[in-house]
């Protein structure tokens, strides 16, 4: 596969650990300059140091994407540092789980704020940079719960269903500007969130964050002639579709 991102600028949210970290490393190895974004400064600085220590290009910018002021500041820094944006990976997410009759409205609001509102804000600011370029790729990391339902995951599922609606609408709206929008919907991946949501799963059967990162690289390797709307990747042995 011929990668199209060598020398381009990629922003990854939720970059401090797990899937986000793996995507940052994969993008760097493909030749992109990586902007690692998360709320925890120490984590993203460690990711950026790992990349630069391996000969890649990366910077860390601390931001809580649920806060509009943080997102504005993030993209202001991005413009000042690079002057362009080629790839946005909306990976930041938060899972809070429990029976619906006991789930607080505050927890529901927080899950939606991070997973859906934050993705919207980042997409909005990214498109303001990408539209004048007539080029760009937005990849939203959704989840199997973006089209399936699981017990005790009503808030997280609602937010990820919302991410899918956002992705589908933007894919249509932005294609006239040369911007592609896709969603990746992983099943069970060996992350802290999955371990909290599904303690019944044996960690040895879960996918690794690098499996999701490879899927992102696949999407970015496609020619401009191709557009992929969504990719559902599941752990081997789980229920198809």
20-43, pLDDT tens digit by residue? 999 999 999 999 999 999 999 999
pLDDT at 3 over 70: no
- Per the CB < 8 A criterion, the answer to whether 145 and 157 are in contact is yes
Nearest to 159 by CA among 170, 172, 139, 143: 143
pLDDT at 1 over 50: no
Three-state secondary structure call for residue 37: strand
Instruction: Work out the burial of residue 210: count CB atoms within 10 Å of its CB; fewer than 13 is exposed, 13-18 middle, 19 or more buried.
Output: middle
Q: What is the pTM of this model?
A: 0.92
Question: Sorting pLDDT into bands at 50, 70 and 90, what band is 241?
Answer: low
Tokens 């600028």, located at residue: 9
pLDDT of residue 164: 97
Exposure class string for 8-40: b at 16+ Cβ within 10 A, else e: bbbbbbbbbbbbbbbbbbbbbbbebbbbbbbbe
Q: What is the mean pLDDT of residues 210-223?
A: 94
The CATH architecture to which 9-233 belongs is 3-Layer(aba) Sandwich (3.40)
Which is higher by pLDDT, 1 or 71?
71
- Average pLDDT score, the chain: 92
> Both tokens of residue 163?
């991410």
Task: State phi, psi for 207 to the nearest 5 degrees.
Answer: -70, 165
pLDDT at 2 over 60: no
> Both tokens of residue 196?
């909290």
Domain locations in the chain as residue ranges: 9-233
Q: What is the dihedral of CA 140, 159, 110, 78, to 10 degrees?
A: 20
Q: Which of 137, 150, 156, 232 is catalytic?
A: 156
Decide if 156 is catalytic.
Answer: yes
144-181, pLDDT tens digit by residue? 888 988 889 999 999 999 999 999 999 999 999 999 99
186-199, pLDDT tens digit by residue? 987 767 777 766 77
């Amino acid at each position: 596969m011929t990668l199209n991102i060598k020398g381009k600028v990629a922003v990854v949210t939720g970059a401090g650990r797990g899937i986000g970290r793996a995507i940052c490393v994969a993008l760097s190895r493909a030749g992109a300059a990586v902007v690692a974004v998360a709320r925890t400064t120490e984590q993203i600085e460690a990711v950026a140091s790992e990349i630069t220590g391996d000969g890649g290009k990366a910077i860390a910018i601390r931001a809580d994407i649920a806060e509009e002021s943080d997102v504005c500041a993030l993209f202001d820094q991005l413009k000042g540092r690079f002057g362009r944006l080629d790839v946005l990976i909306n990976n930041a997410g938060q899972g809070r789980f429990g029976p619906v009759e006991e789930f607080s409205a505050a927890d529901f609001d927080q899950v939606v704020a991070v997973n859906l509102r934050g993705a919207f804000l980042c997409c909005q600011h990214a498109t303001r940079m990408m539209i004048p370029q007539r080029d760009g790729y937005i990849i939203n990391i959704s989840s199997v719960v973006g089209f399936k339902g699981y017990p005790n995951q009503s808030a997280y599922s609602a937010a990820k269903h919302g991410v899918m609606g956002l992705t589908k609408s933007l894919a249509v709206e932005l294609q006239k500007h040369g911007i592609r929008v896709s969603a990746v919907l992983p099943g069970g991946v060996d992350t802290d969130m999955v371990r909290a949501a599904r303690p019944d799963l044996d960690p040895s059967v879960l996918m690794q964050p690098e499996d999701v990162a490879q899927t992102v690289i696949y999407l970015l390797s496609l020619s401009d002639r191709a557009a992929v709307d969504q990719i559902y990747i599941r752990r081997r042995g789980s229920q198809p579709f």
